[in-house]
Amino acid sequence: MSRSPPASSESSSSAVSVSGSSPSRRRASPPLHSTLLREDFDEVLESEVFVDVNKLRKFSRHGIPDEIRGEVWKYLLGVEKSDRSNEFTQRRARYESYQDIDKENVEVSKRVRGEVNRYLMRTKKESLLDPHTAPDIFEAVICAYINCHNHVEYSPALISVCTPFVITMQNECDVYSCFERLANVLSESSQDNNIKKRVAQFLSYFRMLMPELYNYFEEEELDVSEWASSWLRYLLSKELPTPSVLSLWDVYFAMPDYIEFHPFVCLAILRHLKDSLEDLEQSEIRSMLLRLPKMNISRIVSQAYNIRSEIQIRYSATMSPRS
């Protein structure tokens, strides 16, 4: 079930989707901005001695070209080291380590395959996954993760968190390494007491910034903790359309504090959808919050920065001693 390691540095750098997209299917004349952006990334990635991750972070904030997203993410997540002097040795060691992991887990395998098949059926027209290869990759990666992290219980949300890596990376070992990095961060930030505090803080901000919408949710007896907890736990991987998740995570992985920044993105989404949500009834609101529409992530992130500044100013004014 495992994939063989890349034979060379060059082949491992080809971050093509598992859907089998080929260069010939790309647009013949990409926009000038896209061309310049790709050239910036290529200049950094093609360095023979040292990959400047700080430059990759800077460029990634404006989005990463689809065909190199997987390669860039590996550096942003720390899976690939910036020093390339021992690159092949490190990759070989990572591959061999992954090969040694037990990937057999009958109960988890059955649940993973069921969830992946349901996901593929639900997203048949717009799915970026290859239905022939994706189930095997999900099964191997998630079973390996569960077997290596005994404190983690299987959740269907793991499929959503893993999906962007399956889409952007060809090599199963790379999928596992990046998924493990992110899943560990999310697991740590979602410890029982911590997630309760994060949800409470988020709802406090929500009430302060958008009292009309917050009160409307209460009038409609919407279970706020249901959607808010999921939004905060899994970086909107369950709720946003996959292309929007990819764009959002480009920005997040370029940040040192994306877990702390994430609630402001969630608030920006609520503000963006406010008028639409206020026209809906309880069941319709719930459906929209659990299946968000595609949106302009750049604008959402920009709005999130504004919201964070707005909240900081309000709290500073509240905490300032009165004259």
Report pLDDT for 186.
95
Average pLDDT for 285-311: 96
51-90 pLDDT, tens digit each: 999 999 999 999 999 999 999 999 999 999 999 999 999 9
Helix ranges (DSSP H) in 46-105? 53-60, 69-76, 87-99
Q: Which amino acid is at 31?
A: P
151-184 pLDDT, tens digit each: 899 999 999 999 999 999 999 999 999 999 999 9
Strand partners, 50: 83
pLDDT higher than 80, residue 138: yes
Average pLDDT for 287-306: 96
87-97 pLDDT, tens digit each: 999 999 999 99
pLDDT > 70: percent of the chain: 86
pLDDT higher than 70, residue 148: yes
Q: What is the pTM of this model?
A: 0.86
Residues 6+ apart with CB under 8 A from 230: 157, 238, 239, 290
Token representation of residue 119: 């996901």
**Summary mean pLDDT of the chain:** 88
pLDDT higher than 60, residue 293: yes
Pair 229, 199: CB distance under 8 Å: yes
110-127 pLDDT, tens digit each: 999 999 999 888 887 778
Taking 3-state DSSP, the helix, strand and coil percentages for the chain, each rounded to the nearest 5, stand at 65, 0, 35
Report pLDDT for 33.
61
Best mean pLDDT range from 10-24, 216-230, 305-319: 216-230
68-104: burial string, b at 16+ Cβ within 10 Å, e else? bbbbbbbbbbebbbeeeeeeeeebeebbeebeebebe
Q: CA–CA separation, 112 vs 103, rounded Å? A: 12
Cβ-based neighbour number of residue 181 at 10 Å: 18
Report pLDDT for 314.
85
* Angle at the Cα of 70 from the Cα atoms of 267 and 136, rounded to 5 degrees: 100
Report pLDDT for 3.
43
pLDDT higher than 90, residue 226: no
The most distant pair of C-alpha atoms in the chain lies apart, rounded to whole Å, by 70
Of 316 and 52, which is predicted with more confidence? 52
Residues 6+ apart with CB under 8 A from 81: 87, 90
Quick one: which of 6, 26, 125, 7 has its CA closest to 66?
A: 26
Cβ-based neighbour number of residue 63 at 10 Å: 18
